[in-house]
Amino acid sequence: MPPRASQDTGETCRTDVDVDPGVLIVDWDGPDDPENPRNWSFKKRWAATIVVSSFSFVSPVTSSIIAPASEQLAEEFGITSQTVIAMVTSIFVLAYAMGPLLLGPLSELFGRSRVVQLANLWYIAWNLGCGFARTQSQILAFRFLSGFGGGAALAIGGGVLGDCWKPHERGQAAALYSLAPVLGPVMGPICGAWIAQKSTWRWVFWSTTILSAIVGCGGFLMLRETYAPVLLERKARRIRKNMGSEKSQHQEIRTVYDHGDRHWKQIYSTALFRPFKLFFKEPIIMLLGIYMAFVYGTLYLFLTTIDSIFEDVYRESIGIAGLNYIALGIGLTGASQINARVLDRLYSYMVKKNGGEGKPEYRLPSMVPGTLLLPIGLLITGWTAQAHTHWIGPDIGIFLVGAGTMLNFQCIQTYVIDAFTLYAASALAAVTFLRSCAGFAFPLFAPDMFAALGYGKGDTIIAVVAIVVGCPAPFLFMAFGERIRAASQYSNP
């Protein structure tokens, strides 16, 4: 059984002590050890949070920035199938589903910083290649490969937050991190629309490569390693090197985290399969992953249909139509800022109310309005567009969809980080896998669905599913979540 992290600090906070003759156990030097990332200054912790949030923002920008220019690209390559045109955008998200399954567990073996930065270099190289693509096959292949590396921060970033922040401090950091992967896809089409109108689709990729390189440089300068088992292993190596003649007294020096699946020989047999184990053996991960997949798929469905609503129904130019993504961005950002302040205060209030014991379930009350705003926004958007009302009507609906999406995202991601702190990267990789598959699939059927049913009926179907699946979710997890976690071998006690 893997070690379970403490809910309060994530560490046992013991000085180096012998647990049996010949074995020296390496741990933090007490609860205030400055080497523990949770004891870093606020400046250092926020620097790490901002860097991983920037990584989580830039690659999603790339995921959707091509959407407004997809017709331009299709014309150059002679692509006539609407499904293939949509796939040029969404295949990047399909790679999101696969990248974290490999990269998330690797970060739990070799460290967060090293893996996320190497993955970013991989993403930059293939995204640059997209701008030089000459055939349909090349653009699809390069998009997929760049997405594989771009998805790293979506899993690893949550692990960094779990490493650096104590539960009662984690809300605002998680709010920033949760905003990045959903605000990025919104900003992408706004920029892509004007780039496509003023230049060429190739500059869509070249411009994001330049931005990604700048963020990558910031990561090399500012992102320090945060993963406790890796930091303690480095400490153990220093002790082995400095012990000298005393080494004979201790035949083995290991950390409190040393166990079978941290050895390189166990990478394939244990660590890389952990996200699958978490998804299929942990009901919390599976159920929250399914709902988050629906929410994320709905977001990407909107990202690929907003252009058609305002270009076809309201006859706006490609650049002006792209400005309507601002409504989605305002909804996402506004909800994020409000909930960032609510999450920690509500958590602290509920901890105090319940005798000082913190629980991940205290993150879920903010999810209740999110499950309501999402279907309401869908209905307003669909029927106002169907009725050809003033353009502000669909924008109000889009705004509410953004707010509902953000509230759900923040609560679910923070809950997963709190519940599976030591294995947060693998847990988020499992959730990211399913949601990225939905982000890939939803835009593929959207054009045919709206062509057959219209925007009103099409969005009504999605809204009904959102009500049936989403509305009971926070109440069920608040009532039964602790009982489910008690049977888990990976969650915090």
Predicted confidence (pLDDT) per residue in 294-311, tens digit = 888 888 787 778 888 888
**pLDDT computed for residue 421 by the predictor:** 77
284, 481 Cβ separation under 8 angstroms = yes
Domain total of the chain = 1
Angle at 320 between CA 315 and CA 321, to 5 degrees: 60
Orientation of helix 392-419 relative to helix 473-486, angle to 10°: 10
424, part of any domain: yes
364, 411 Cβ separation under 8 angstroms = yes
**Coil/strand/helix, residue 389:** coil
Residue 160 scores a pLDDT above 70: yes
**Coil/strand/helix, residue 140:** helix
Residue listed under structure tokens 């409000």: 338
Residue 228 scores a pLDDT above 70: yes
pLDDT digits (tens, 9 = 90+) for 113-146: 989 999 999 999 999 999 999 999 999 999 999 9
Distances (CA, A) of 377 to 332, 370, 465: 13, 11, 13
**C-alpha to C-alpha distance for 413 and 9, rounded to whole angstroms:** 19
Query: What's the average model confidence in pLDDT over 376-402?
Result: 93
Looking at the chain, the whole-number percentage of residues with pLDDT higher than 70 is 90
369, part of any domain: yes
Query: What's the average model confidence in pLDDT over 83-98?
Result: 81
**pLDDT computed for residue 209 by the predictor:** 93
234, part of any domain: no
Biggest distance spanned by C-alpha atoms of the chain: 84
Structural domain containing residue 128: 37-226+270-486
Sheet containing 252-255, strands listed edge to edge, beginning at the edge strand earlier in sequence: 17-20, 23-26, 252-255
**C-alpha to C-alpha distance for 268 and 167, rounded to whole angstroms:** 31
334, part of any domain: yes
- CATH number, position 121: 1.20.1250.20
Residue listed under structure tokens 């892509």: 192
Pairing of strands 23-26, 17-20: antiparallel
Reported as type and span, the H/E element at residue 23 is: strand 23-26
330, 216 Cβ separation under 8 angstroms = no
- Output the pTM of the full model: 0.71
Which parts of 165-312 fold into alpha helices (H)? 170-198, 202-222, 228-243, 274-281, 283-308
237, part of any domain: no
Orientation of helix 152-164 relative to helix 42-65, angle to 10°: 160
**C-alpha to C-alpha distance for 11 and 492, rounded to whole angstroms:** 11
Buried b (16+ CB within 10 A) or exposed e, 159-170: bbbbbbbebebb
Residue 2 scores a pLDDT above 70: no
Beta bridge partners of 254: 25
Task: Identify the band that residue 272 occupies on the pLDDT scale cut at 50, 70 and 90.
Answer: low
Beta bridge partners of 252: 23
